[in-house]
């Protein structure tokens, strides 16, 4: 199997609740459409009592922090490199999904405040894009 890396980047200025919400939405989108179970090595873990914990990745997931602008820059570089990604921006957390769609349509990319980015692909390329970021605290 190819050497892949999965990284999460959260906006360093978000409070824990907003960061968790952005992460949950982005990971749901990522898991639902960006990759296959095999790509992210989802497996089931079984306890001594036979209870099963399914669809947990064997891969490590690094959680990092950065500014909105840095997240945007990394997302754009990931797109150019053909890496898989899902992002989450501030307009996606204002009310109903209809309101969020409408507001997002009024904004250019540079006007959006990036809250989260899920990034997946070649280990070296993902590391190159994220290697100077600090761990999320």
CATH 3.40.1490.10 fits 4-135, yes or no: yes
pLDDT in tens, 94-108: 999 999 999 999 999
Distance CA 58, CA 55 (A): 9
| Digit-coded pLDDT (tens) for 32-78 | 887 788 888 888 999 999 999 998 888 889 999 999 999 999 999 99
CB–CB of 57/38 below 8 Å?
A: no
**Mean pLDDT across the chain:** 94
Per-residue confidence at 80, pLDDT binned at 50, 70, 90? very high
Domain extents in the chain: 4-135
| Closest-CA residue to 7 (of 30, 32, 33) | 30
């Amino acid at each position: 199997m190819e050497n892949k890396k999965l990284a999460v980047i959260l906006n360093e200025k978000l409070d824990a609740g907003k960061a968790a919400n952005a992460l949950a939405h982005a990971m749901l989108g990522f898991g639902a459409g960006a990759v296959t179970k095999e790509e992210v090595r989802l497996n089931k873990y079984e306890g001594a009592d036979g209870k099963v914990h399914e669809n947990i990745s064997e891969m490590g997931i690094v959680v990092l922090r950065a500014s909105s602008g840095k997240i945007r820059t990394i997302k754009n570089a990931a797109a150019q490199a053909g890496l898989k990604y899902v992002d989450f921006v501030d307009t996606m957390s204002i009310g109903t999904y209809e309101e969020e769609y409408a507001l997002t349509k009024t904004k250019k990319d540079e006007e959006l405040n990036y809250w989260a980015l899920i990034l997946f692909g070649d280990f070296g390329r993902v590391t190159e894009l994220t290697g100077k970021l600090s761990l999320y605290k």
